[in-house]
Amino acid sequence: MTPLLSARDVTKRYGAHIGCAAVSFDLYPGEVLGIVGESGSGKSTLLNCLAGHLAPDGGEVVFDTRAEGPRDTLQMSEPERRMLGRTDWAFVHQHARDGLRMGVSAGGNVGERLMAVGARHYGDIRGKATDWLERVEIDATRVDDRPTTFSGGMQQRLQIARNLVTGPRLVFMDEPTGGLDVSVQARLLDLLRGLVRDMGLSAIIVTHDLAVVRLLADRLMVMKDGHVVETGLTDQVLDDPQHAYSQLLVSSVLQV
Amino acid sequence: MIELHNVSKTFTLHNQGSTEIGVLSDVSLSVAAGECVALVGASGAGKSTLMRMIYGNYLTQAGSIRIGDTEIVGAEPRAVIALRREVLGYVSQFLRVVPRVPTVDVVAEPLRAVGVDADTAKARAEALLSDLNIPESLWSLSPTTFSGGEQQRVNIARGFVHEYPAMLLDEPTASLDAANRDVVLRLIENAKARGAAMIGIFHDEAARARVCDRVVDVSVFTPEQAA
C-alpha cells in the first residue's frame, strides 16, 4: 500500500533555534496519527511544515495525489499547493476564528469552500451546507447566522464542517479540542471519530491532551525539543512508554 | 494459534533512578484453536503483563509472539491494529469509551470496524446485551454512568460481538452475579466450540475449572525470585 503522506527528514530552524529536526514518518490511508509533546516541543511547527503553511529548511513531504500519484508538495508550485489545500487537504485550527470567516454566515462559510472547487448552483450549495451543519450538530435554522453569534464549541464544529464539505482525504488538526470545556470536547471527539470512520479519513492531530489521542489516534509520535523521541501504537506508548520523556509525560497526567 | 517463544519483559523507570524491573523471562507458551489456557500466579507475577504483551499493548523486548500469521514483536502499528480488528479480541477489566456514545453502538463498534453493515451489527449487539441481562432501557444510554457490573457486561458484549479467532480474557467473571457469570462462561464455551484460541485470567476457581483446558503458572517465569 502506498502511504498517503510520507515525511522525510523534515527540518525547520528559527535562526539558531530548532523548530523540528529530521522528522520522518509514513501515514497510510485511514490512519490517524497523534503528535504529542509539551508547549514548544515543535509539534505545531511540524504540522505547519507538513500542511504547507511554513516552508521547512529541508526534507520532503510526499503526498499521494489523486491525479499524479506521489509528489513532493514542497516542490509544487504555490497554486498547485493551494489547490491541494482546498480539495484533498483540510486544516482545523485551534482557534475557530483562524479557520472561519467571521463576517460571513455559517452557510456561507461552508459554501465558500464548495465554490472554491467549482460549485456554482446556489440551491445545491445551500443544501449541502445545511446538510453539513446538521452532521456537525448545528441546527439548520442557524444557517444564515454569523459565526460571531455562535458559542466556541459551535464555531469549532462549523470549522470542521467547512473543512470536510469538500471530502478531503487528509485532515490536519491543531489542538482541535483546546479551549473547549469537557462536555463540548466529548461531543466533538465523538463527532470526529464518527467522521474519520465513515469517510475513511486520514488525520494528523497535534495536541497536548493525552486523553484525546487515546480516543482518536491509532499511532502516536512524542516530541521533545524538536525531536521525535518515541513513536508507536497509541496505547503502547501511553501504557508502556520507553523513553524517559514519554514516561514523564504520561506519569504527569492528573487522574480524575 | 497463539505461539510465544522465549518472551521477556523488563520495565525501565527512567525517572525513578533508571530502576530496572524484570517481570518475565523466557516465557514459551502455545495455545491451539479451540483451547482455553488459564494464567495463574500471585498478584504481581505478571499475568496481566503477559496478556498485554500478547495484545501489543506492552512492548516486548525479546522473543517472539505469533498470533496466526502475524508476529507481534517489532510489528508496525498498523499491523497490530489490523490484527486487533480482525483476529485478536481482548476483554479487559475496564471499559474505556468515548463519552456520550450509546451502549448499543459501543458494543456494535467492533463489528462495524470489520465492515458489517449498521443494522446487522446493531441486531447482534442487542442480542448480546439482552443475553447479558442489560435492561433494554439502558441500551441508548452511554455506559459511563453504569454500575461496575453493568460496565463489565457491556465490555464482555463488546469483546464477544465479533467472532475473533483468538481472545484474551482478563477476569471476565469478576464482579458478576451467578446468573451473569453463567452467561459469560457459556459465551466462552461457545467461542471455544467455534475454534477460538483463548488465554484467560480467572480468580474464580470454579469458572477456571469449567472453561479452561490447561493452567500455566506465570510465577515460574519470574526472573531471579523463581524458586
Half-sphere exposure of A164 (CA within 13 A, CB side): 25
Phi and psi for A140 in degrees, rounded to 5? -60, -20
Considering CB atoms only, which of A189, A219, A232 is closest to B98?
Answer: A189
The model's confidence at residue B227, banded by pLDDT at 50, 70 and 90, is: very low
Q: How far apart, in Å, do the first and last CA atoms of chain A sit?
A: 41
Please say if the pLDDT value at position B226 is more than 50: no
The overall longest dimension of chain A from CA atoms, in Å, is 56
Residue from B57, B78, B117 whose CB has the most chain A CBs within 10 Å, to mutate: B78
Beta strands in chain B (DSSP E): 2-13, 19-31, 36-40, 62-67, 70-71, 88-91, 166-170, 197-201, 214-217
pLDDT tens-digit profile, chain A (256 residues): 889 999 999 999 999 999 999 999 999 998 999 999 988 899 999 999 999 999 999 999 999 998 889 999 999 999 998 889 888 999 999 999 999 999 999 999 999 999 988 889 999 999 999 999 988 889 999 999 999 999 988 999 999 999 989 889 999 999 988 777 777 777 778 788 888 878 888 999 999 888 888 888 999 999 999 999 999 999 999 999 999 999 998 888 776 5
In the predicted model, what is the mean pLDDT of residues B112-135?
A: 93
Note the ipTM here.
0.86
pLDDT of residue B138: 93
Please answer whether residues A106 and A143 qualify as being in contact, where contact means their C-beta atoms are separated by less than 8 angstroms. Answer: yes
pLDDT of residue B224: 67
Measured distance CA(A6)–CA(A60) in Å, rounded: 8
Considering CB atoms only, which of B15, B77, B98 is closest to A233?
Answer: B77
The bridge status of strand A17-27 relative to strand A5-14 is: antiparallel
The closest alpha carbon to A25, from A217, A183, A177, belongs to A217
Question: CB of A193 within 8 Å of any CB in chain B?
Answer: yes
The bridge status of strand A89-92 relative to strand A5-14 is: unpaired
Q: What is the pTM of this model?
A: 0.88
Q: Record the cell numbers describing residue A88, joined without a space.
A: 484533498
Q: Indicate yes or no: CB of B15 within 8 angstroms of CB of A28.
A: no
Half-sphere exposure of B8 (CA within 13 A, CB side): 10
